[in-house]
Amino acid sequence: MTTAPRAEEDTVACTVESRIAWLQFNRPEKRNCMSPKLNRQMKKLLEELEFRDDVGVVVLGGSGEAWSAGMDLKEYFRESEAEGLHAVRRSQREAYGWWERLRWYEKPTIAMVNGWCFGGAYGPLFACDIAVAAEDAQFGLSEINWGILPGGGAAKVAADLMPLRKAMYHAMMGENLTGKQAEAQGLITEAVPAAALRARVTEIAEALLKKDAAALRATKWAVRRMGEMTYDNAMDYLIRAQEALHSFGGVEARHEATRQFLDEKSFKPGLGTFDTTKFKG
């Protein structure tokens, strides 16, 4: 029996609980391959969540046994190519568009990789600020096994996150990495037992929610920009970024944190964050 195609709004699941937005690739029957419908829906939901007051952190997970097995070969490639170059470019813009939006998102983002993460899925993997995976998750650049190169930014992701020799081997051999191996080679932040994955991601999200939102935004953008700069350019950028942060309450936040440290002696920066509930940015 053939399963009817999912409606566009059903390709991504979304729930918000305690200021954490849980987004999920929701095509488990296709190992959450990214189709044009899914890409459009993901961008729509990300834009809806970005400035909601009841959302402080966004988590991107996957339904079923996969996080995402990459781009949908039938819908993203074959059907777009059959329509012509205009359709190919449209599909590329839809995919790359939400990955870029996620890279420069206003709020912290966490990839919760529960299973398969292949090829094109390296785009959103890289776009998330923090990536936590199950130890038995599978990461792969299988493009070489069917005669193409890892495009869509996948090769760039591997080259940026992994040591050169590891990235080269990963791309040329088409062999999979477990979550543990992906952590060791720098592709993800950390790997945990599958049974503990959601709990660990929740723990990280809750820690982020306690920090100053404007400072988090400035920090994540600064870290991403640093990789593109010389040391001197980075130093200048960080000075300007701190000055810009002042417009979002940076001075008042620093004064409150200093007061809590020096006067109240209620927190130590090396052991935790200041109480942001006493400061309204």
Give the predicted TM-score (pTM) of the model: 0.91
Indicate if 149 and 230 belong to the same structural domain: no
Q: Which residues, 6 or more positions from 17, have their beta carbon under 8 angstroms from its beta carbon?
A: none
State the Cα–Cα distance between residues 183 and 170, nearest whole angstrom. 14
Of the listed ranges 11-25, 38-52, 220-234, 243-257, the least confidently predicted one is: 243-257
Indicate if 194 and 222 belong to the same structural domain: no
Q: At residue 246, does pLDDT exceed 80?
A: no
Indicate if 163 and 261 belong to the same structural domain: no
Per-residue DSSP letters for 213-255?
Answer: HHHHHHHHHHHHHHTTS-HHHHHHHHHHHHHHHHTTTHHHHHH
Domain count for the chain: 2
Give tens-digit pLDDT for 98-156.
999 999 999 999 999 999 999 999 999 999 999 999 999 999 999 888 888 888 889 99
209, 235, 266 - which closes a domain: 209
Indicate if 262 and 154 belong to the same structural domain: no
Mean pLDDT computed over every residue of the chain: 90
Indicate if 42 and 154 belong to the same structural domain: yes
Indicate if 101 and 137 belong to the same structural domain: yes
261: pLDDT confidence band, cut at 50, 70 and 90?
low
190, 209, 228 - which closes a domain: 209
209, 236, 267 - which closes a domain: 209
**DSSP SS3 for 145:** helix
Give tens-digit pLDDT for 149-179.
888 889 999 999 999 999 999 999 999 999 9
CATH, residue 102: 3.90.226.10
pLDDT of residue 1: 44
**DSSP SS3 for 96:** helix
% the chain with pLDDT above 90: 64
Indicate if 169 and 105 belong to the same structural domain: yes
Q: What distances in angstroms separate CA 20 from CA 60, 70, 109, 138, one per listed residue?
A: 11, 25, 10, 26
Full residue range of the structural domain in which residue 222 is found: 213-278
